[in-house]
Amino acid sequence: MLTNPLLKNIDYDYLYKNGIIAPWYLKPSQLQLYNMIQSLRRVVCSCRRRFGKTTVIGVDFCENCVTKEGLRVFYGSPQLNQSRAILSQVLEHIYAYAPRCKPKYYTQDGC
């Protein structure tokens, strides 16, 4: 959870329902990557381990799924079981602030 005392009285349900997650959730360096993803069609990033690349993508997924009805999101990884294990953990952390707003999502293994 967040430790910043300025963020304690925020209505997280309102922010989640309106797709406003990145500005308060991401670190400044992650926010730079997020802004690039929002403004460019394709992005290639070379970031160190534990930078938060998956977190940035997870926030982008969450915001887009809330604001764009019927959106389908596809996510892949080198090994079949990695996608679910990694992304589900990130989504759980992102929605920890407003668990009532957590969307239902369905997974499908394979092509």
Report the predicted TM-score, pTM, of the whole model to 2 decimal places: 0.78
Whole-number Å distance between alpha carbons of 92 and 110 = 23
What are the angstrom distances between the C-alpha of 93 and each of 17, 24, 69, 87?
Answer: 16, 14, 23, 10
Q: Give the Cβ contact number of residue 4 at 10 Å.
A: 8
Which two tokens mark 2?
A: 């967040």
Cα distance between the two ends of the chain? 35
Q: What pLDDT, on a 0 to 100 scale, did the predictor assign at position 109?
A: 65
Q: What pLDDT, on a 0 to 100 scale, did the predictor assign at position 77?
A: 80
Compute, in degrees rounded to 10, the torsion defined by CA atoms 43, 65, 25, 20: 110
Per-residue pLDDT in tens (0 to 9) along the chain, 111 residues:
555 555 667 888 888 889 899 998 999 999 999 999 899 888 888 888 888 888 998 899 889 888 888 888 777 788 877 877 888 888 888 888 888 887 776 666 665
